[in-house]
Amino acid sequence: MSDVACCRLPVLGITPFNPVNGDTRFFVLRLPRPSEPAWWRWRPGQFVMLRPDSFGLELPWGRPFCICHVTDGCLICFFQVLGRGTRRIAAIKPGDMVSLWGPLGNGFAMEADTPTLLLAGGMGIAPFVGYVNVHPKIWNVTMLFGHREIQEYYPVNNINEFIPLDGFLEHGPEDLQLFVDTVHERMRLCAEQKGLVLACGPLPFLRTVRDFARALKVRTQLSLESVMACGVGACLGCVTKTDQTWPVPEKRGRPVQICRDGPVFWADQVVI
Amino acid sequence: MDLSVTLHGQTHDLVLKNPVLTASGTFGCGLEFAPYGDLKSLGGIVVKGISLKPRDGNACPRIVETTGGMLNAVGLQNDGVEDFCIAKLPLLPWRETAVIVNIYASSVEEFAALAARLNGEEGVAALEVNVSCPNVSCGGVLFGQDPALAAAVTAAVRKAAPSKHVMVKLSPNVTDIAGIAKSVEGAGADSISCINTLLGMGLDLRSRRPILVNVVGGLSGPAIKPVALRCVWQTALAVRIPVVGVGGIVNSVDALEFILAGAHAVQVGTGNFMRPNCAFTLAANLPAVCAEYGVKSLEALRNSNFENAPVQGVCVDLSERS
């Protein structure tokens, strides 16, 4: 981690994601790829802390952004405007300066020869863009995507380039049930194949996946989201409690930081 | 320019290579920030508050961003003093820079036990006593809000840690901070740091609920800087021991303002969350900013006697000195 640094970078571009009817809540943010060596070893599921100069003294915290993808010259994040921080980030212009530190956290497991099922809910699609880009044997990977907005709001094309994406648009309870039933069925198949399940999305979705993982006994990782002030393990604002299977005995049943010990956890090792 | 500082205490001096420390609770145990700067370049590292036994802290949400600051009700989550001494302290560059351990307890006896445990640790340069915690044997009254209780804790730590510099961190949530400062000085404190967080709260209109599970929490960040400056000024006028300024310091100009107010050193707190290299950058920039503002020495700046020369146009009545 010693080569992770905090740097100031100019924004390369910020683009509303396929706006429909002028709705601009979903954005792609492009930054220059930082030069620190850690960026050559980034892993899908890791995140960055990003704080534009325009926050001034008014908004002290940076914002945690999942890394969507990293190319040779570019760091790409995907975000939705939810509060005053993301609203202000959405208003920045190319050339505006941001402070950025990362890559942070641990990232998802990647086992080339293991059948791997990706489960995304809404914005939880973001880390899987990078995942399918860098997976060495992509034919072993499949994906389900549940979402409440139409697919044009999400970077589905970047996934579809590599694997077929089964999308589930949720209009009502019956749609949600269909998605949940499909998740269960695909996790059951994955369990039979001794596969790996990776999930990212809202907490209720992750709890459902966790319950299925327990019942089906399939190895499953969950990417947890939280409010964070620092992203480096100091503010203690993003903790989750560990379960009795946590690998460090003295930390069992105690809080661990999502930013430092996660954000990706084995489903049976944390209490959510 | 020599930026080294000696905090001349009543029992022990604390020598700092520069006046820039980190504030407890915002810098982890220090190691979290090692990727973002050279820990040895800091004047000192004040580590996250430590208790005798591990503490899990409060339920989440326990932090919230506010305009110009943040509220926290973390509840002093920590892994306990033994874990710190065995697993963390050996990894810190304590031979090159001062490691100051912030200590937290819920009784005078527990403070003494904690101080005694740390007294034998060569790597610990000083103890910072957090008196902004409830005394369970006195119905939860905060030690730092009662001059006698604050003095009792200070005296107990002083006695239990005879080989350490004892710094007492004062709460701003009092009517007369100078009175509390005099009490802890009288009880043997070597220095005072101020201020701890201001008590505040945040509400969510949509849910009609408090944002923090704990309802109330400590406010920190640039928003509290004017309060912190006032408290440092009043404290420095009231006591002879050195004062360390804390509260909303995010750059070198802020730091020098605190020294102008009477502080010997400063602590960077919430600024570490704004950018993880904040304290390192502040320390590195200090000589240049001193030059820019014509500061020949920190001591000269501290003795500027500014209260007799109000800046034109600043509508603050400084005549009501306590």
pTM of the model: 0.94
Q: Report the residue from A2, A6, A254 with minimal CB separation from B275.
A: A6
- When scoring A2, A6, A84, A272 by the number of chain B Cβ atoms within 10 A, the one with the most, hence best to mutate, is A6
Place of tokens 């950018």: B275
Low-confidence ranges of chain A (pLDDT < 50): 1-2
Domain ranges for chain B, please list them. 5-303
Helix axes B225-238, B252-261, angle to 10 degrees: 30
Q: Report the residue from B56, B63, B68 with minimal CB separation from A235.
A: B63
Residue B78 is classified by DSSP as B
The Cα B105–Cα A90 span in angstroms is: 45
Q: How many CB pairs under 8 A join A and B?
A: 100
- When scoring A3, A57, A98 by the number of chain B Cβ atoms within 10 A, the one with the most, hence best to mutate, is A57
What's the confidence (pLDDT) of residue A30?
96
Which superfamily, per CATH, for B5-303? Answer: Aldolase class I (3.20.20.70)
* Residue B30 and residue B99 in contact, taking contact as beta carbons nearer than 8 Å: yes
Q: Chain A contacts of B222, Cβ < 8 Å?
A: 57, 60
Distance from the A229 Cα atom to the nearest Cα atom in chain B, whole angstroms? 6
Residue A42 is classified by DSSP as -
The Cα A52–Cα A62 span in angstroms is: 8
Cβ atoms within 10 Å of A249's Cβ, excluding its own: 7
Residue B140 backbone zone (phi > 0: left; psi -120 to 50: alpha; other: beta) = left
Helix axes B177-186, B147-160, angle to 10 degrees: 30
B122-136 pLDDT, tens digit per residue, is 999 999 999 987 777
Please give the backbone phi and psi of residue B254, each rounded to the nearest 5 degrees, phi first: -55, -45
The H or E element that residue B113 is part of is helix B108-119
Nearest partner of B260 among B319, B311, B312, judged by Cα: B311
The Cα A271–Cα B93 span in angstroms is: 36
Q: Does B251 touch chain A (CB under 8 A)?
A: no
**In sequence order, which residues have a C-beta less than 8 Å from that of residue A20 and are 6 or more positions away?**
A150, A152, A153
A120-138 pLDDT, tens digit per residue, is 999 999 999 999 999 999 9
What's the confidence (pLDDT) of residue B33?
97
Cβ atoms within 10 Å of A242's Cβ, excluding its own: 20
Q: Do A57 and B68 touch (CB under 8 A)?
A: yes
Distance from the B150 Cα atom to the nearest Cα atom in chain A, whole angstroms? 27
DSSP B197-264: PEEEE-EETTTTEESSTTSEEEEESGGGHHHHHHHHHHHHHH-SS-EEEESS--SHHHHHHHHHHT-S
Q: Do B273 and A235 touch (CB under 8 A)?
A: yes
- Least CA distance to B76: which residue of chain A? A236
Concerning whether B315 is annotated as a catalytic residue, the answer is no
Domains of chain A in sequence order: 5-104 (2.40.30.10), 116-271 (3.40.50.80)
User: Measuring CA to CA, how many Å separate B23 from each of A42, A101, A187, B99, B244?
Assistant: 31, 21, 47, 12, 10
Q: Do B35 and A58 touch (CB under 8 A)?
A: no
* Residue B291 and residue B256 in contact, taking contact as beta carbons nearer than 8 Å: no
Q: Chain A contacts of B70, Cβ < 8 Å?
A: 60-61, 229
Beta bridge mates, B281: none
B100 is written with which tokens?
């100051």
Residue B87 is classified by DSSP as I
Distance from the A104 Cα atom to the nearest Cα atom in chain B, whole angstroms? 11
What's the confidence (pLDDT) of residue B322?
36
CA angle B229, B234, B240 (to 5 degrees): 115
Q: Chain A contacts of B62, Cβ < 8 Å?
A: 236-237
Q: Do B250 and A57 touch (CB under 8 A)?
A: yes
Q: Coil, helix or strand for A183?
A: helix
The H or E element that residue A207 is part of is helix A203-216
The Cα A33–Cα A100 span in angstroms is: 11
Burial class for B210, CB neighbours closer than 10 Å (0-12, 13-18, 19+): middle
Q: Chain B contacts of A226, Cβ < 8 Å?
A: 60
Helix axes A173-192, A203-216, angle to 10 degrees: 40
Q: Do A99 and B275 touch (CB under 8 A)?
A: yes
Q: Report the residue from A57, A61, A101 with minimal CB separation from B222.
A: A57
Q: Coil, helix or strand for B195?
A: coil
The Cα B281–Cα A2 span in angstroms is: 17
B196 is written with which tokens?
């701890």
The letter for the amino acid at B143 is F
Low-confidence ranges of chain B (pLDDT < 50): 313-322
Nearest partner of A270 among A210, A198, A191, judged by Cα: A210
A189 is written with which tokens?
């198949």
**DSSP-based helix, strand, coil % in chain A, nearest 5:** 30, 35, 40
Q: Report the residue from A2, A254, A255 with minimal CB separation from B34.
A: A2
The Cα A160–Cα B228 span in angstroms is: 55
Q: Does B87 touch chain A (CB under 8 A)?
A: no
Place of tokens 């995010």: B250
Q: Chain A contacts of B270, Cβ < 8 Å?
A: 60
What's the confidence (pLDDT) of residue A130?
95
Q: Coil, helix or strand for A103?
A: strand
The Cα A162–Cα A144 span in angstroms is: 14
- Give me the sign of the Cα torsion angle A67, A68, A74, A80: negative
Q: Coil, helix or strand for A3?
A: coil
Q: Does B280 touch chain A (CB under 8 A)?
A: no
Please give the backbone phi and psi of residue A151, each rounded to the nearest 5 degrees, phi first: -60, -25
Q: Does B206 touch chain A (CB under 8 A)?
A: no
* Residue A190 and residue A143 in contact, taking contact as beta carbons nearer than 8 Å: no
Q: Report the residue from A4, A5, A229 with minimal CB separation from B273.
A: A229
The H or E element that residue B178 is part of is helix B177-186
Q: Does B67 touch chain A (CB under 8 A)?
A: yes
Q: Report the residue from A5, A59, A239 with minimal CB separation from B35.
A: A5
**ipTM exceeding 0.85?**
yes
Burial class for B200, CB neighbours closer than 10 Å (0-12, 13-18, 19+): buried
- Which residue in B29, B133, B231, B290 is the catalytic one? B133
Distance from the A16 Cα atom to the nearest Cα atom in chain B, whole angstroms? 26
Nearest partner of B246 among B308, B148, B177, judged by Cα: B177
